[in-house]
Amino acid sequence: MNELLWMKAAKEKLGEREITGAKHSLNILAWNKRLGAWWFNDEVPWCGSFVAICLVEAGIAIPKEWQRALEYTKMRNTLPKPAYGCVAVKKRKGGGHVCFVAGRDKATGKLVCLGGNQNNMVCYALYDEADFVFKWYGMHAYPNPERYQLPEFNGIKLANVTEH
Q: Yes or no: say if 57 and 5 are a contact pair by the CB < 8 Å rule.
A: yes
Rounded Cα–Cα distance for residues 18 and 96 (Å): 18
Per-residue pLDDT of the chain (164 residues; tens, 9 = 90+): 689 999 999 999 999 999 988 899 999 999 999 999 988 888 888 999 999 999 999 999 999 999 999 999 998 899 999 999 999 999 988 889 999 999 999 999 999 999 999 999 999 999 999 999 999 998 898 999 999 999 999 988 766 666 65
Q: For position 69, what pLDDT does the model report?
A: 94
Q: For position 161, what pLDDT does the model report?
A: 65
Task: Tell how strand 121-127 and strand 111-118 pair up.
Answer: antiparallel
Q: For position 132, what pLDDT does the model report?
A: 96
Q: For position 35, what pLDDT does the model report?
A: 94
Domain 5-153, CATH number (from 3.40.50, 3.30.1360, 3.90.1720, 3.40.630): 3.90.1720
